[in-house]
Structure 1
């Protein structure tokens, strides 16, 4: 999709689902509302990670027919808690091997390595977060990452160090000219990672306001300029329970992008999981 057409549609900010039948009849389909997946009654029947585990794959299916030739999308999930359990199991099953100088097949003995004592030893827990995302690649140029769609999880917002790590990841992607979209439906953590990103770079968005909404979707992309400071373009959409989800622009190149209707993929995921 050309940049001019994409910008025109972005300005309209239509959250509605428009099907072919609706276009022919001139009527819009009724959008379904955003649910609270972290509190009753939905939480009593469905765990939030069921939605998160399936939503990226549905987004990939949605992008498949609209991505230009040469671009591919793939889901990416990383469960930080599961990773920690795997490591501890490995350490129990495989005790550290101890070797002494000169042991073995008659080799020459070497002096034992005696490292200096550390200048600081403190207790810490390096954040290893859950990641639910969709990545879009340009397969024509060595599978270059061009866009990332991040579905914010509770672990991304639960502690200051987790939020800093997530925002640093987003900033690093933007520096690599990767379009980044955040979709945050976490109702139990009242933080806005987009606002944290703006604070990191010393900027603000009037649409965010003094009290940033905890539920939102946003797309950000960096634009480099010759002999000038780079620009950051953002498209921010506050969300609310009981309201439809927005449509996000997903940038593939400077003048090339597609639209991701979050409402469509969200409703399809809820339908398959029987989340009403």
Structure 2
């Protein structure tokens, strides 16, 4: 496993800082561990929709589209990016089509897994994950408390993620919860252990994990750890090799927060 620091001095900024129109301040990551899972689920549902809508509104290139909460031969996924089948003419309805371009991933950690360490390198064939409307090329997962509250729940979630990576599906995981009893080193450490004996260590002061996995030509993880109170990073979503798009997580998070009931917002705002 090769780990290197991400490049932070590129001309293009890593994130765009926005303002919460209701509060007039920069939108931070809230402490979702403070509320019950049902309250978080309400936000989770709307955030997934906001991410899907933003992808379909011009972020995905021609011939790609996103759908939410799809079952693709395994447990339900949050957001699925599909490539239309080759014999179909794509139909776009967003802000206009874009072409595929290399993603300029700028994260704190970049972890590469040499081919000899990869579990899927020993497979004799590849399985193409298909949906009735297209080929699945990427999945976005926003972690919920139920994904990690029990050993079996964590194993089910990790197995789903590993199966997607093994089947050459790119993956973006957003975990707004700190490590717990069953993922003491964070969700990426558990997934990384499948492919490497070298454990990945989260910075102690940044316990929340945002990680994008690029499956081709070499399995690579782009990890951006943050803390409660930090702005959300924009993260890459790979579609084919190094081609893909950037998901504006702070923008979609802010849009979701603005339409939450005031009663829920009060539960998460710091006390004066």
Q: TM-score scaled by structure 1?
A: 0.63
For the 8 Å contact 2:187–2:209, the answer to whether it is kept is no
For the 8 Å contact 1:10–1:249, the answer to whether it is kept is no
Deviations 1:217-258 (A, max 9, x none): 00012225xxxxxx3111101011011111111011114210
Q: For residues 38 and 18 of structure 1, what CA distance do their matches in structure 2 show?
A: 24
Match for 2:222 among 235, 250, 273? 235
For the 8 Å contact 1:167–1:197, the answer to whether it is kept is yes
* Deviation, structure 1 residue 16: 2.6
* Deviation, structure 1 residue 202: 2.1
* Deviation, structure 1 residue 132: 5.9
Match for 2:244 among 243, 253, 257? 257
Match of 2:194 in 1: 200
For the 8 Å contact 1:71–1:137, the answer to whether it is kept is yes
Match for 2:66 among 64, 73, 90? 73
Q: For residues 150 and 247 of structure 1, what CA distance do their matches in structure 2 show?
A: 15
For the 8 Å contact 2:165–2:171, the answer to whether it is kept is yes
Q: TM-score scaled by structure 2?
A: 0.64
Match of 2:171 in 1: 180
Unaligned runs of 5+ in 2: 1-5, 87-132
Match for 1:139 among 80, 84, 90? 84
Q: For residues 52 and 15 of structure 1, what CA distance do their matches in structure 2 show?
A: 21
Unaligned runs of 5+ in 1: 1-6, 20-28, 79-127, 225-230
The 10-residue stretch of structure 1 (143-152 or 186-195) with the greater mean CA deviation from structure 2: 186-195
* Deviation, structure 1 residue 185: 0.7
Shift in CA distance, 77/33, structure 1 to aligned 2, threshold 3 Å = farther
* Deviation, structure 1 residue 179: 0.7
User: Rg bigger for which structure?
Assistant: 1
1:1-276 equivalences in 2 (<5 Å): 14-17=14-17, 31-39=26-34, 43=35, 47-64=39-56, 65-76=58-69, 133-141=78-86, 143-187=134-178, 189=180, 191=183, 192-204=186-198, 208-209=201-202, 214-224=207-217, 231-274=218-261, 275=265
Shift in CA distance, 47/222, structure 1 to aligned 2, threshold 3 Å = same
For the 8 Å contact 1:184–1:214, the answer to whether it is kept is no
For the 8 Å contact 1:151–1:184, the answer to whether it is kept is yes
Q: For residues 209 and 188 of structure 1, what CA distance do their matches in structure 2 show?
A: 10
* Deviation, structure 1 residue 140: 3.2
Task: Name the SS for the 1:140 alignment partner.
Answer: coil
Paired residues in the alignment total 200
Deviations 1:1-25 (A, max 9, x none): xxxxxx9899666233379xxxxxx
Q: For residues 212 and 13 of structure 2, what CA distance do their matches in structure 1 show?
A: 13
Deviations 1:95-124 (A, max 9, x none): xxxxxxxxxxxxxxxxxxxxxxxxxxxxxx
Deviations 1:160-185 (A, max 9, x none): 22212211111111111111011001
Q: For residues 222 and 10 of structure 1, what CA distance do their matches in structure 2 show?
A: 25
Q: For residues 213 and 42 of structure 2, what CA distance do their matches in structure 1 show?
A: 27
Match of 1:22 in 2: none
Structure (1/2) with the larger helix percentage: 1
